[in-house]
Amino acid sequence: MELTYSLTACLAIFVLFIFSILLRNLASCAKNQPPSPPSLPLIGHLHLLKEPLNQTLQSLSAKYGEILLLRLGVRKALIVTSPSAVEECFTKNDIIFANRPRSLSSKHFSYNYTTISVAPYGDHWRNLRRLAALEIFSPARIAVFTGTRKTELMLLLRELMHKCNEGGGSTKVDLKSKFVELAFNILSMTMAGKRYYGENVADAEEARKARFLIREMLENSGRSNLGDYLPLLRWVDFKGLEKRFTTLMQRLDKFMQDMVDERKQLLAAGSNGSATMIDHLLSLQENEHEYYSDELIKGIIMVLLIAGTDTLSISLEWAMALLLNQPEAIKKIKAEIDAHVPEDRLLEEQDLPNLTYLQNVIKETLRLYPPVPLLIPHEASENCTVAGYHVSKGTMLLVNLWAIHRDPKLWEDPTKFIPERHQERRDDGFTMLPFGAGRRGCPGAGIGTRVLGLVLGTLVQVFEWERTSEEMVDMTEGRGFSIPKVEPLQAICRPRQAILQQHSLVPP
């Protein structure tokens, strides 16, 4: 008897489910929907999504349209590859698209959707952005940490110099790992006054454990899972995945809490306050304890560490790879630096505005290899229209900026590395948007470009660089949320004669 009831109930739920899908489809047919490829029952277009996603979506857009609607299981996704539609999304519809879709990984790695990168649009997120603009990314706050960025870079230069000395004048460098280490050290020194990579770490064992955790953190944050699109699948590996994420987040939380507690102890012992970003946030906590809770501070540090490390290290790696394949560009950077920076000192951040060719190299790198090629997904909080098409509430927005940056209608020789193309170009914001646009655009753009300019410029000022063999550097793009280089970049460096003569700059 009970079995009959259960079977009837299951059948009824199934019929209702199919009926609701039919009704939904009928309702959407009545409206002007964006074009869409043929889809399969239940999974919709999920089977079409092969990695690298940016390239697959580019092919689908070329076939079906620059504004494309995909059904990814229970979710709808609007794929936009047209600058005018992007402009509409981030101007007229900016508030509507200022939401983020929820996912299993964002739930676990965001203190329950409260961190700046995934919090829904609303008072809490607006407060976080205001706080970030004022207390973290304002020119005054960025200036406070100029010395920290410089010190970390000098440590890398010294390490390379030392290895060159040992290697009889030159050394082979694993640039991928060096850039991850440098980016993370810059950020962790800024946040907590601690470094986790290199010979100068305070506690080698603690740093080793932290490095494992950091790698896991970078690999898992931003991951999407099939269960986000097919809730039925959650029952298959849901428990295992949830458990893995929960354990990882517990360890991450402890890592962040230790950072905060250590700063509290140092401050209590009378150390110089406001020396790190955490100190500064703790000083705000003194006056507004409820708002500036430890959890809020941990969430801020975690997001900045993740958002900054990946983007900076990946961009530096692509930039150097492009330069190694085009040594004339290295010569031009060198000539520009030699013309604008006095011989007896290394490049400083304040030199960057005078180094336009270097800036164009950075722009061209971010055009060809934007580290967040589809932006962080946005979500429509209301029905709206884009390019005359109806977009329903809850639709996810993916802007394929990788495809826009390589669109032959917008760029001559789009796949070629030509820094000069940016010389006369007016920034219109929607044909080139490596940092996104609108309310949800990257708040770290200013500091990001500064770090890229400082690191890249100084490496070229101090060393001669060449490929490890006659062969061109392999430029195959990997899979994932950001565009990593499949082959980790290696290169050979040797100190420039002019720098060796100024020996005291970078002691071996």
In the complex, the smallest distance separating the C-beta of residue 156 from ligand HEM, rounded to whole angstroms, is: 17
Tell how far CA 466 is from the center of its chain: 28
Closer CB to ligand HEM, residue 301 or residue 324? Answer: 301
Instruction: Give yes or no for residue 312 binding ligand HEM (CB under 6 A).
Output: yes
Instruction: Give yes or no for residue 329 binding ligand HEM (CB under 6 A).
Output: no
**Between the CA of residue 368 and those of 163, 213, 362, 405, what are the distances in Å?**
32, 30, 10, 7
H or E element at residue 125: helix 123-131
Distance CA 314, CA 312 (A): 6
- In the list 54, 93, 117, 285, the residue contacting ligand HEM (rule: CB under 6 A) is 117
Contact 358, 456 (CB under 8 A): yes
Instruction: Give yes or no for residue 435 binding ligand HEM (CB under 6 A).
Output: yes
Closer CB to ligand HEM, residue 280 or residue 440? Answer: 440
Q: Per 3-state DSSP, what percentage of the chain is helix, strand, and coil (rounded to 5)? A: 55, 10, 35
CA proximity to 458, closest of 333, 367, 327: 333
DSSP state of 134: I
Cis peptide before 52 (omega within 30 of 0): yes
Closer CB to ligand HEM, residue 263 or residue 440? Answer: 440
Instruction: Give yes or no for residue 404 binding ligand HEM (CB under 6 A).
Output: no
- In the list 273, 441, 446, 480, the residue contacting ligand HEM (rule: CB under 6 A) is 441
Instruction: Give yes or no for residue 372 binding ligand HEM (CB under 6 A).
Output: yes
Question: Residue 170 burial (CB < 10 Å; 0-12/13-18/19+)?
Answer: middle
Q: Annotated binding site for heme, which residues?
A: 442
H or E element at residue 495: strand 490-495
Closer CB to ligand HEM, residue 43 or residue 142? Answer: 142
Instruction: Give yes or no for residue 318 binding ligand HEM (CB under 6 A).
Output: no
- In the list 311, 313, 431, 482, the residue contacting ligand HEM (rule: CB under 6 A) is 311
- In the list 65, 222, 434, 457, the residue contacting ligand HEM (rule: CB under 6 A) is 434
Instruction: Give yes or no for residue 375 binding ligand HEM (CB under 6 A).
Output: yes
In the complex, the smallest distance separating the C-beta of residue 164 from ligand HEM, rounded to whole angstroms, is: 28
Q: What is the amino acid identity at position 22?
A: L
Which residues on neighbouring strands pair with residue 76, listed in sequence order?
A: 71
In the complex, the smallest distance separating the C-beta of residue 100 from ligand HEM, rounded to whole angstroms, is: 7
CA proximity to 494, closest of 156, 177, 165: 165
Q: Helix or strand or coil: residue 407?
A: coil
Closer CB to ligand HEM, residue 285 or residue 311? Answer: 311
- In the list 57, 180, 230, 303, the residue contacting ligand HEM (rule: CB under 6 A) is 303
Instruction: Give yes or no for residue 443 binding ligand HEM (CB under 6 A).
Output: yes
Instruction: Kindly report the backbone phi and psi dihedral angles of residue 428, in degrees, each rounded to the nearest multiple of 5, phi listed first.
Output: -95, 0
Instruction: Give yes or no for residue 189 binding ligand HEM (CB under 6 A).
Output: no
Q: Give the residues lining the site for ligand HEM (CB under 6 A).
A: 116-117, 129, 303-304, 307-308, 311-312, 315, 366, 371-372, 375-376, 434-436, 440-444, 447-448
